[in-house]
Structure 1
């Protein structure tokens, strides 16, 4: 909330919304402006729509995943829903959280964030945006589809894996370095997913801000 106010963020792109946990926390904390949520799993998307009812500033996009191109893809559905991903899950993830094991898969549309921006914010080019990513290893693909959108993004809040949990996911240091090269700096990292047996931190939540943004 402090960073959104500091960088004058008027729209939050909630990518990988699941059932809307992040958006609900932001609204409860007092965020008054626009939130656009994206979710590819049909059961989670249906619950997301219900949770967004009654909130004028909270929009839910049609069911889709975000990536670097437009095409049809299969999304793997995890037993706990939050761990669902377009990527195959590795044994390290399952061993730390057995309930996350995939139960099946379904087809969804993959679209680019740049195309979404033109669809949802055609009259707000230049407005300050925040990007939240909880996409289970697909962060690099989301960034691939957002070269124009990134010019407006002032805050990035993303999940990052410290060890491989999904096949072909971008490793922590590679993703961290890429976001820095895009003109952001890291202002915070907090533990996310812990192995309950070994207490190893497997994923963290990292916050980045636009390096060149002139803020006070």
Structure 2
């Protein structure tokens, strides 16, 4: 048996003829993604809907940053028709569809660290791939435009928003800047929960998971990885810097009104 295992090992781990090694690596990567729940874009299976169903009845004020055409906000309203949603979408094409829904406060503006103006890259075909960052080949972008930008703090002040129950940020790698722009409210404990996406776009932005952890820790927030039926506390190690699509949830210290099931991680992390 040991001879057979050694022969298989030599076949799979062969630097001179790495074809099988590549296949093994790809299969292993897919398995790891499956176990972590990473690279799953379906809200019904990646845990996002689980989180929304659990917290929606408790929500009063929501910020949806990177709302696109408003599907995420519509999901929240379907679960709680009384919630007040402030949706932000800088692309006019997506914003028009967002505004037509007429069920939340739609803002045709970008959100970042500081108020001002910024260059926004428009994807030719898919508005969900628009980004302030240069993420894709130039041929994939139709054009770039200058757009106004606000911060979470400045918008909240101008619109008399004293408390945000839930903030969602899905902005193709710009999530860290969005959250930095809300540090004033974080410092006051005026945001209960923040969900953000961490992905390959985060690498383009040169932001790391450790940066998010440190930012939230400064203000007494704990970070969790969103799973299909639970959330898991993040126990940081450098090898967690995997730039695959993952959704995280930051929860204000002392806030117990979310109702989510918290389970210690049992696989790898």
Question: Which of the numbers 127, 143, 152 marks the counterpart of 1:81?
Answer: 127
The structure whose residues are more often helix, as a share, is 2
SS in 2 for 1:157: strand
Who is 1:172 aligned against? 209
What is the distance in 2 between the residues matched to 1:171 and 1:42? 30
Deviation at 1:131, TM superposition (A): 0.7
Q: Give the greater-gyration-radius structure (CA).
A: 2
Q: Is 1:159 paired with 2:197?
A: yes
SS in 2 for 1:115: helix
Measured against aligned partners, the alpha-carbon deviations of 1:60-84 in whole angstroms (never above 9, x if no partner) come to 12x2111122221111112311011
Question: Which of the numbers 114, 117, 140 marks the counterpart of 1:72?
Answer: 117
TM-score normalised per structure 2: 0.63
Query: Which piece of structure 1 moves more, 140-149 or 106-115?
Result: 140-149
Measured against aligned partners, the alpha-carbon deviations of 1:70-128 in whole angstroms (never above 9, x if no partner) come to 2211111123110111011056xx9xxxxx932221121011111110222x2x52x34
Give yes or no for contact 1:15–1:37 (8 Å, CA) kept in 2.
yes
What is the distance in 2 between the residues matched to 1:33 and 1:114? 20
Q: 5 Å matches for 1:48-197?
A: 48-51=98-101, 53=102, 55=103, 58-61=104-107, 63-78=108-123, 79-90=125-136, 101-120=140-159, 122=160, 124-125=161-162, 127-150=163-186, 151-161=189-199, 163-164=200-201, 167-190=204-227
* Structure 2: 5+ residue stretches without partners: 1-52, 229-241, 260-269
Deviation at 1:190, TM superposition (A): 4.4
The structure whose residues are more often strand, as a share, is 1
TM-score normalised per structure 1: 0.76
What is the distance in 2 between the residues matched to 1:128 and 1:74? 28
* Structure 1: 5+ residue stretches without partners: 95-99, 192-199
Q: 5 Å matches for 1:2-81?
A: 2-5=54-57, 8-51=58-101, 53=102, 55=103, 58-61=104-107, 63-78=108-123, 79-81=125-127
Give yes or no for contact 1:90–1:165 (8 Å, CA) kept in 2.
no
SS in 2 for 1:35: strand
Change (3 A) 1:165 1:139: closer
Who is 2:32 aligned against? none
What is the distance in 2 between the residues matched to 1:112 and 1:87? 17
Measured against aligned partners, the alpha-carbon deviations of 1:144-184 in whole angstroms (never above 9, x if no partner) come to 221222231101111112x4566324223322443344322
- RMSD between aligned alpha carbons? 2.7
The aligned length equals 190
